[in-house]
A and B are shown apart, each in its own frame.
Chain A
């Protein structure tokens, strides 16, 4: 995945942020729903256990009470109930038949008479003023009960009012039908092999009453909620991803337009502009700035190109006159005279001037994409052969070797290619060492001619490799003009190669071995001697 793409990153970011938020939301919603359901179960159990625990029951009533808790033991497993009654000594008074064997009953405490909350207080002796029937319980019983629990207290008082008449009062011992103080319901969750159970435990002074409800129903409910979330979450994330992908594409379209135009902008096509209509405000400024930059670039580039062309154009007439007149004067001066030598020196300076203006002109044409070679069929083997001959003649201190494929023909501008070759060849001689060598190799590739020129001598420093083809670059500034003319040679040679749809590259420059390679497209063998048009050569 392209992690460097802004759109991908934006989409990933929005998906992960919203995914996180949604996940947190889903988890808390799930927990909340579960809590609410549990509370419901707890309340329902407390409402059932409370009335049972408030009063004493004869032992033989317990199975009947337990059976009355609907839905009964067993039954629908999701609604299943468990019932347990423990006596004061820890003995099981009643246990529902479906009580799981893996769940020990000692998880639930036996009633402890010592618990101050459960201390049984006998009713106060009847007041001497006379018996009261159905009256409210004495003050201290209410106090010892749960004064801070209004529900049991009021239930107690209600039950007392509605309770059966207490005929046996005054006979001693606890009355057979009596309201007992109870502990507040305690809720626990136990896991057994058959599933999770929720228990409500209440104690009075005599027994512990435990009612359990299966959590299977709750589990199923929560699974439904969870599945709902799990199904919705990916859909939501997908929608968010799609949305942000589309939105970012729309937002970035301006940037891509900008890049497209920038790509199309070359020296010969500086007139490209980006339309700013219908673009977001944030990008409009960028586009305006970019267009403004192109305006300035086009203007100054046009000026530079026009200047070079105009300068060369204007110079050609005075230079022609200057050169012609000096050459004429040189012919007329006495042979071997001082005068003639002066004319000769002047002629050399004119020559230098000509060469520089010519090169600048070619470079400005190359820069503006107007360097269109006049193509004709040229024997590259012949041209290179002449360069080799020159090198052998000139560099007598060097070993010049050549390995040239015969009959390599290219469609090229003879003058320009010759110029590029003589540049490379004279460089190879200049930057050589005593007793070194120059090697020319001309071969053909699929549809290109490849000329490699290798020379010995100190290599070009690696930090200079990129600057090598820059205008006015010189490997060693201190050597100055004497050794490298005006430093336009390599730059121009590369432009010439490229104007021919070829190239010039530095292949290697190590210790004592530097190789340049020129590639030029081969002439079509079926078009013998054909003169191609400049338009075909392109730029």
Chain B
């Protein structure tokens, strides 16, 4: 998957790029608005990740011009809550999604997948890891041939972990993705849901697909 990352802050661009590349994406990084606009017109990308505050042409103006030219490439905006109006304007201008700064790379990855899936149809809509099949469209989860019934929260949690098997997800990051950034950080809601998820996915206790990383969080077992 080919991603154009438009971000002028080098360090932010650095860790985002790294995370995206680990995910197997091809990342092109641009730190200037005018340059980004030229590239977006010239090349074909699966997703453009667009910061709003940029030297040269700003993100919203790039988005507006692309949409004016009937260029429907999926766009994810990087915004801050302080710019609620930017966010709204971005959505009205035809952005496909937005990610609020500060954000986790995994959050951005999940949004990129969701946006790309919407743009390309069913190709990317099934996750399959170690006998576990998750259909992101029908929201069907199968363990082998066994259908597993999950709640919305459990499904979101499983999808998040399954996206990058082997990657460590700290509790606070899981909490932010599934419950929102404001959920009481002292609660053990993540642990409780992980337990429930484990029981549902593996009622016999044959071997958990979700591993505990002591003192940190969880990860999906790499096959």
Is A70 part of the binding interface, using a Cβ–Cβ cutoff of 8 Å? no
Query: Which listed segment binds B: A21-29, A76-84, A325-333, A449-457?
Result: A325-333
Nearest opposing residue in chain A for B154, CB measure: A389
Scan residues 485-539 of chain A and give those whose CB is less than 8 A from a CB of chain B: 485, 531, 533-534
Q: Which B residues touch A419, using CB under 8 A? A: 180, 182
The one of B15, B81, B182 that contacts A324, using a Cβ cutoff of 8 Å: B15
Nearest opposing residue in chain A for B211, CB measure: A335
Give Cα distance in the complex from A406 to B201, angstroms: 29
Give Cα distance in the complex from A309 to B102, angstroms: 15
Nearest opposing residue in chain B for A308, CB measure: B82
Is B176 part of the binding interface, using a Cβ–Cβ cutoff of 8 Å? yes
Q: In the complex, are the beta carbons of B193 and A393 less than 8 A apart?
A: yes
Query: Which listed segment binds A: B68-76, B136-144, B184-192, B202-210?
Result: B184-192
Q: Which A residues touch B29, using CB under 8 A? A: none
Q: In the complex, are the beta carbons of B182 and A534 less than 8 A apart?
A: no
Is A359 part of the binding interface, using a Cβ–Cβ cutoff of 8 Å? yes
Q: Which B residues touch A309, using CB under 8 A? A: 82
Q: In the complex, are the beta carbons of B82 and A344 less than 8 A apart?
A: no
Q: Which B residues touch A347, using CB under 8 A? A: 170, 172-173
Contact with B along A431-475 (1 / 0, CB 8 A): 000000000000000000000000000000000000000000000
Shortest C-beta distance, B208 to chain A (Å), equals 15
Q: In the complex, are the beta carbons of B82 and A372 less than 8 A apart?
A: no
Give Cα distance in the complex from A393 to B154, angstroms: 11
Give Cα distance in the complex from A322 to B103, angstroms: 10
Give Cα distance in the complex from A390 to B184, angstroms: 11
Is A303 part of the binding interface, using a Cβ–Cβ cutoff of 8 Å? no
A330-B170 in contact given A418-B180, A482-B186 (Cβ < 8 Å): yes
Q: In the complex, are the beta carbons of B81 and A312 less than 8 A apart?
A: yes
Is B213 part of the binding interface, using a Cβ–Cβ cutoff of 8 Å? yes
Scan residues 314-339 of chain A and give those whose CB is less than 8 A from a CB of chain B: 316-317, 319-325, 327-328, 330-331, 335-336
Query: Which listed segment binds A: B37-45, B56-64, B84-92, B125-133?
Result: B84-92
Give Cα distance in the complex from A347 to B171, angstroms: 10
Is B152 part of the binding interface, using a Cβ–Cβ cutoff of 8 Å? yes
Is A354 part of the binding interface, using a Cβ–Cβ cutoff of 8 Å? yes
Is A286 part of the binding interface, using a Cβ–Cβ cutoff of 8 Å? no
Give Cα distance in the complex from A482 to B187, angstroms: 11
Give Cα distance in the complex from A354 to B172, angstroms: 12
Q: In the complex, are the beta carbons of A422 and B80 less than 8 A apart?
A: no
Q: In the complex, are the beta carbons of A426 and B168 less than 8 A apart?
A: no
Q: In the complex, are the beta carbons of B82 and A374 less than 8 A apart?
A: no
Give Cα distance in the complex from A319 to B14, angstroms: 14
Shortest C-beta distance, B161 to chain A (Å), equals 14
A316-B101 in contact given A328-B15, A344-B216 (Cβ < 8 Å): yes
Give Cα distance in the complex from A347 to B168, angstroms: 13
Nearest opposing residue in chain B for A415, CB measure: B180
Give Cα distance in the complex from A407 to B165, angstroms: 36
A327-B15 in contact given A336-B214, A386-B153, A422-B179 (Cβ < 8 Å): yes
Nearest opposing residue in chain A for B151, CB measure: A389
The one of B14, B105, B153, B179 that contacts A327, using a Cβ cutoff of 8 Å: B105
Is A285 part of the binding interface, using a Cβ–Cβ cutoff of 8 Å? no
Shortest C-beta distance, B190 to chain A (Å), equals 10
Shortest C-beta distance, A421 to chain B (Å), equals 9
Q: Which A residues touch B176, using CB under 8 A? A: 351
Is A348 part of the binding interface, using a Cβ–Cβ cutoff of 8 Å? yes
Shortest C-beta distance, A205 to chain B (Å), equals 120
Interface size of B by CB at 8 A reads: 53
Q: In the complex, are the beta carbons of B181 and A393 less than 8 A apart?
A: no
Nearest opposing residue in chain A for B195, CB measure: A393
State the main secondary structure of chain A at its contact with B: helix
Interface range on chain A: under 10, 10 to 19, 20 to 34, or 35 or more? 35 or more
Q: In the complex, are the beta carbons of A313 and B82 less than 8 A apart?
A: yes
Q: In the complex, are the beta carbons of A386 and B152 less than 8 A apart?
A: yes
A358-B184 in contact given A323-B104, A324-B16, A390-B153 (Cβ < 8 Å): no
Is B18 part of the binding interface, using a Cβ–Cβ cutoff of 8 Å? yes
Shortest C-beta distance, B97 to chain A (Å), equals 12
Q: Which A residues touch B91, using CB under 8 A? A: 374, 531
Is A341 part of the binding interface, using a Cβ–Cβ cutoff of 8 Å? yes
Q: In the complex, are the beta carbons of A355 and B182 less than 8 A apart?
A: yes
The one of B12, B18, B187, B193 that contacts A321, using a Cβ cutoff of 8 Å: B12
Is B54 part of the binding interface, using a Cβ–Cβ cutoff of 8 Å? no
Among A327, A330, A352, A423, the most chain B Cβ lie within 10 Å of the Cβ of: A327
Q: In the complex, are the beta carbons of A328 and B87 less than 8 A apart?
A: no
Q: In the complex, are the beta carbons of A372 and B88 less than 8 A apart?
A: yes
Shortest C-beta distance, A430 to chain B (Å), equals 8
Q: In the complex, are the beta carbons of A320 and B101 less than 8 A apart?
A: yes
Give Cα distance in the complex from A458 to B80, angstroms: 39
Q: Which A residues touch B223, using CB under 8 A? A: none
The one of B19, B92, B168, B182 that contacts A340, using a Cβ cutoff of 8 Å: B168
Q: Which B residues touch A422, using CB under 8 A? A: 179-180, 182-184
Q: In the complex, are the beta carbons of A394 and B192 less than 8 A apart?
A: yes
Shortest C-beta distance, B168 to chain A (Å), equals 6
Is A365 part of the binding interface, using a Cβ–Cβ cutoff of 8 Å? yes
Is A361 part of the binding interface, using a Cβ–Cβ cutoff of 8 Å? yes
Is A362 part of the binding interface, using a Cβ–Cβ cutoff of 8 Å? yes
Is B196 part of the binding interface, using a Cβ–Cβ cutoff of 8 Å? yes
Shortest C-beta distance, A438 to chain B (Å), equals 14
Nearest opposing residue in chain A for B18, CB measure: A328
A390-B173 in contact given A320-B101, A341-B215 (Cβ < 8 Å): no
A372-B15 in contact given A341-B215, A393-B196 (Cβ < 8 Å): no
Q: In the complex, are the beta carbons of A354 and B181 less than 8 A apart?
A: yes
Q: Which B residues touch A415, using CB under 8 A? A: 180
Q: Which A residues touch B19, using CB under 8 A? A: 328
Query: 9 A-B pairs, CB-CB below 8 angstroms?
Result: A317-B9, A324-B11, A331-B167, A331-B168, A355-B182, A386-B152, A419-B182, A422-B183, A482-B186
Q: Which residues of A contact B (CB under 8 A)?
A: 309, 312-313, 316-317, 319-325, 327-328, 330-331, 335-336, 340-341, 343-344, 347-348, 350-352, 354-355, 358-359, 361-362, 365, 371-374, 382, 386, 389-390, 393-394, 415, 418-419, 422-423, 426, 482, 485, 531, 533-534
